[in-house]
Amino acid sequence: MMPWDMGASGPANRQNLIEEGAPTIDRDTGKEHNPNGVKRMRRHSWISIYRRKGKLSERQFNTADQIHRASLGKLSDDPLRALFIDRGMACDDAQAAAFDQRRAFHRIDAMIPDYARPVIERVVIEDQPLWPGTAHERHLDRLQRGLDEIADVMDAMRKVRKI
């Protein structure tokens, strides 16, 4: 029988954690080795879980990953609307990189279709699973179609060099 208080190693805290080896790479040979059997835990996001299950295509996953990475530095509003930061400049300023990340998020956020906004915000930005129940397939369809639409817009914008 297990104790009722499992602390930080309880099932709720271990959700989406994957145990993997932590090898070191030999600089001379380039081979990985892990003689002591060191393990580490890594948390998988819901978009990577859905990709692994075959629910998201590689293109949809890449779009969702780009949205998620851009959302990590988001603010509620873009205070830097008038500030232009040239991405082509070789700049090591972390603050400028954060501003650029926020600008990219607000640009991508404007591309999210209204019908897919709730599900994209939940799964991609907040890293929560799709809602369970009878509407699960409908929400998955909205997520897939929304990510495809965003990817199409981003591809079109790349062609004219706006992203």
Q: Tell whether 26 is covered by a domain.
A: no
Q: What is the pTM of this model?
A: 0.68
Q: How far is CA 89 from CA 85, 86, 93, in A?
A: 9, 6, 11
Domain of 135?
56-81+91-159
Query: Phi, psi (5° rounding) for residue 19?
Result: -85, 130
The candidate with the shortest Cα–Cα distance to 45, out of 143, 158, 125, is 125
Which helix (H) or strand (E) is 46 found in, with range? helix 46-52
In DSSP terms, 42 is beta-bridged to 18
Which helix (H) or strand (E) is 96 found in, with range? helix 94-109
Comparison of pLDDT for 89 and 112, the residue scoring more: 112
Helical axes 58-71 vs 136-159, angle rounded to 10°: 80
Q: Tell whether 113 is covered by a domain.
A: yes
Q: Above pLDDT 70, what percent of the chain?
A: 79
Q: Tell whether 15 is covered by a domain.
A: no
Q: Tell whether 66 is covered by a domain.
A: yes
Q: Tell whether 19 is covered by a domain.
A: no
Most distant CA pair in the chain: distance in Å?
Answer: 63
Q: Tell whether 41 is covered by a domain.
A: no
Q: Are 23 and 33 in contact (CB under 8 A)?
A: yes
Which two tokens mark 65? Answer: 């990953």
Number of domains in the chain: 1
Digit-coded pLDDT (tens) for 61-107: 999 998 998 887 654 444 554 455 555 555 566 677 667 777 778 88
For 65, residues 6+ apart whose C-beta sits below 8 A from its C-beta are 47
101 half-sphere exposure, CB direction, 13 A CA radius = 16
Three-class secondary structure of residue 41 per DSSP: strand
The candidate with the shortest Cα–Cα distance to 112, out of 87, 77, 90, 143, is 143
Q: Tell whether 4 is covered by a domain.
A: no
Amino acid at 145: R
Q: Tell whether 70 is covered by a domain.
A: yes
- Split at pLDDT 50, 70, 90, the class of 1 is very low
